[in-house]
Structure 1
Amino acid sequence: MEKVLGFGGFFFRADKPIYLMRWYHDNLGIDMPPSDYDQQPWRQTAGTTIFLPFERTDTHFGGPTAPFMFNFRVRDLDAMVAQLRANGNVVTVDENEYPNGRFAQLNDPEGNPIQLWQPGGVDSP
């Protein structure tokens, strides 16, 4: 069976798309999209990707009004949380350490849920 290679992009609607892209760049280090085809877009570091639909009634990432959640892998959760908080973001760190790593949660300026994941166990880089 032919399979996809991975995500080639994630496209979503925003009230202020340029402002929101700048926020992701300034806070999470995601490269701005290229302005032409000669520039290279953001290249993520290889690692685990989980593709998992949730029940519409699940409250794991904000309840039924949140249709998706970004989950970003990070090298050092504590350093990323400190950076985000220094930029004025509210971040909640999960006190538990799970077999697959550590997690923190925040929302972007438009309320989209974000989960930060420092992989552990078999998912460690």
Structure 2
Amino acid sequence: MERVLGVGGYFMRATDPVALGAWYRDCLGLDADENGLWRPEAGVTVFAAFESETDYFGSRAQQTMLNFRVRDLDAMLAQLRAKGADVAGETQDMAGVGRFGWVTDPEGNRVELWQPS
């Protein structure tokens, strides 16, 4: 059986794609090239389905949520706050999995940040 090799892309609609791309570059350090190619560090990726009524993604209108692995969650959240980003006040610890925090991008998409254990 053929299997997928990894996540090949994540695509989102935006009212201002250039500005949204700049936000991801300037606030999260996502250094994609002019074609959108980004070479993330090797690591695990979670693929999970949630109940349709979950509030975990923030707005019920948001059908998916992007999750980025980070080295230091506290430093990333402080960096985002310093840039004026909409950072959730709470974080979550999950034993054996890691720590989680959230930021909402300028288009209203909730993004999860994960510091693996």
Question: Does structure 1 residue 97 correspond to structure 2 residue 102?
Answer: no
Query: Conserved in 1, the CA contact under 8 Å of 2:86 and 2:105?
Result: no
TM-score by length of 1: 0.84
Q: Map 1:32-47 onto structure 2 (within 5 A).
A: 32-35=32-35, 41-47=37-43
**Residue segments in structure 1 that go unaligned for 5+ positions in a row:** 121-125
1:88 to 59, 65, 84: 84
- SS of the residue corresponding to residue 93 of structure 2 reads coil
For residues 96 and 62 of structure 1, what CA distance do their matches in structure 2 show?
15
Q: Where does residue 123 of structure 1 map in the other structure?
A: none
The number of equivalent residue pairs is 116
2:45 to 49, 54, 57: 49
Question: Does structure 1 residue 17 correspond to structure 2 residue 13?
Answer: no
2:68 to 57, 68, 72: 72
For residues 12 and 5 of structure 2, what CA distance do their matches in structure 1 show?
21
Query: Conserved in 2, the CA contact under 8 Å of 1:57 and 1:64?
Result: yes
Q: CA deviation at 1:94?
A: 3.6
**Residue segments in structure 2 that go unaligned for 5+ positions in a row:** none
Distance 1:108-1:3 versus aligned 2 partners, 3 A rule? same
Work out which of the two has the higher radius of gyration on C-alpha atoms and give 1 or 2.
1
TM-score by length of 2: 0.90
Distance 1:19-1:71 versus aligned 2 partners, 3 A rule? same
Point out 4+ residue stretches in structure 1 off by more than 2 angstroms.
32-35, 92-97
